Structure 1
Amino acid sequence: MRIQRILATTAALSCLFTLAACKEGGQASPPGAGTPSSTAATAAAEGPLAEAQRHLRQFTSCEDLTAKADDPRMPGGDFPKVGQWSVTEVGVCSDKPEKGDIVIAVPKDMKAFQEGYKKYVLARMGAGEGAYGLFDQVLVGKGFVAFPTRTATSLKLVRSDLRVLVCNPGGRVPDGYKREKPLVEGCGLTDFVSTEDGSGSPNFETPQDPSGDGSKPGQPKNGSLGLPRAGSIAELRKLVGNSLDCQKNFSTDPEAVAIESIDYQPVIKGNALEWGVTGRALCGQPAGERRAHDLSWLDTVGDMKKLQTKAKAAQQADLKDDGKLKATASLLLVGENIAVETNSPSSRFGLYQLQFLYLNCTPGFSAPSGYRLEKSQVEGCVLTNYEPEHPLG
């Protein structure tokens, strides 16, 4: 028997329990039994529910808060009601940008709530649902528990101090995510949002096999077409001259190279030597009479594995927030002993023609036939000229 949630489409909803009464599309039917007290029906105006809403709004939308039992967003089924598991108030608000809702429960005793949830999970597992609780998004905060109906909402909230409560002994937290102790033994708190469909937090431990069948590094089938190289920054500048703004606007001055803007952010941060980079230059126009524009960075590389390892960690940190890279973040395109950092798709198109390849560390990434897909020097990444949002054509 598969786990049931409010949203059949997300496979990661956190209504928690027998949710046959939940509608599709993230909306829930009215509760099947019991009517909260009149106090609970008006609790959204002030008090713990309002405090919880203010906290949630720092990280996501939480509009139209109410504690009224007849609100159609209120879940039914076995959802913890007032009086259950020490819960004193239950409310619901809407995350309108994500087209979902957030149910909020306020326990008088958080330990009692966690103990109640743990017992419920174990009971469901004992009844034959061995995977129960692995994908429920039960987010514990200070004094309240949030149950988003959209995975995207949960991903925003775990960037705060809210943590996913996992009480299925089979729950596992991949490396790179927090592991914190809850108030009861046998459970865990984490910022890893687990989903069946892979829409939650990226698991960077997932093995990446760029070849598909293990016989070749990737496409092309006959092996690598090779990568470009240069003996110096001057040679690299000449090599990329038709792809980047490096002819008139070029500098190796450390202060100029350190320039970045809200629109142009390099991959390498801090001391370039710690990234395995031996020389660095800036192409483009720093801020002056007008805003900085067309910024890209050129690198000569002494330790390519170190560069790719550091770049992988930076890329994963960016992906961890919402599974997407920042639009203003540069991508790292590498050669044999050189690299270019740029957020310009048109510039990257030209660099791909020079046989540069992009270091992609997105879990599960693959490229269609006709694109290059080769092994990088770090596990979990590939080198490619395929960008899903900017395909060559």
Structure 2
Amino acid sequence: MRIKRILAATAALTALVTTAACDGGKGNGHAAPAGANGTGAARPDTGPPSAGSLGEAQKYIQRHTSCEQLSTEPADERLPSDDPVKPGAWSVTERGVCSDRREKGEILVYRTADMKEFQAAYKKHVMDSIAGGKGDYGLFSRLFVGKDFAVVPSRTESAMALARSGLRILTCNPTFGVPKGYTKEPALVEHCGLSDFVNSEDGKGSVNHQSPEEEGRERGESARPKEGRKPEDSLGLAAAGSLAELRKLVHHELGCEQFSTDPETVSISSIDYLPAIEGDHKMWGVGERGMCGYPGGERRAHALSWLDKVDDMITFQTKAKAAQVKELRENGGRLKATRSMVLVGKNVAVETNDAASRHGLYQAQFLNLNCQEGFTAPEGYRFEKHWSTAAS
């Protein structure tokens, strides 16, 4: 078991993974139950809990989920071999592991001499991982912290149970956002946060209350027509007044140091990077178009992404849908692996085939435009059905 799995199980979806579907997809967007954790249960604990020993920490955990056969033996096979969090590091004085028999997993438990130092070490670990190319590292954090101990469950179900305790999930990925309806508190180190929102790739985590439909109802809007939402009416999506603003908006997600608007450069594609837009971008409703990355030369093209300032989003989505449907039909029901996915905002779009970049863009409130027939998003993720001129 790797520390990536324990501390930040990275995946194809993210904390606010937002997915827009073309005509044909059916969402499972239902109103979340009452209560910040989506279960309707009141939170029984308040304030960060403290434990004078690992045994006391175990007893606290057992108030919420299973934690049996606690061991501090370094050779215990339940411990991840590459865990950097050992006694003497990260201000950790004791480390243990217990069996989560109820959910058939494990739970790591750490005692700390200085919780601020522990959080700072975790932040550095996350930022080093991001700098090393893992842009989504930490988005699925299961690192729960109290006053002087920390807990890392391997199972989402156990994380959901602990989210109802006084423990809080520490998240330091700068692109992470806490949806409305969940607690959001400052951590002991800058640019990290504490929350009770369990973000999980398996769809078993916390329900994302922050759907456009709910926001709209709060604003007094009437129900949306069955054919879907006009793109300009979608709430909270990324927007920019110009291509330069869009580049600035997504710079962190794309690392867009190398940028060009030269038409010949922007029209370049390679075997590794296929754009979503082909032909005259004006015919797609795009006013301005640029490209991030290195188109080639002495080195093979790499890190290519395309930025679109969209003047007509309905035309853009209609063309993107037609292109997706055509390729799916011609390619055995699948898009080419190097084909850039389209992520849309209110009046902007990004084309990229880099998964880490997409994770960051989801946090920046872009939606993945998916036009596969029957597509639906997992429970807890935002799903919108947008209008297009091709919609039936």
- Report the TM range for the smaller structure's normalisation: 0.3 to 0.5
With the length of structure 2 as denominator, give the TM-score of the two structures: 0.43
Q: Which has the higher contact order (CA 8 A, sep 6+)?
A: 2
Q: Looking at CA atoms only, which structure, 1 or 2, has the larger radius of gyration?
A: 1
With the length of structure 1 as denominator, give the TM-score of the two structures: 0.43
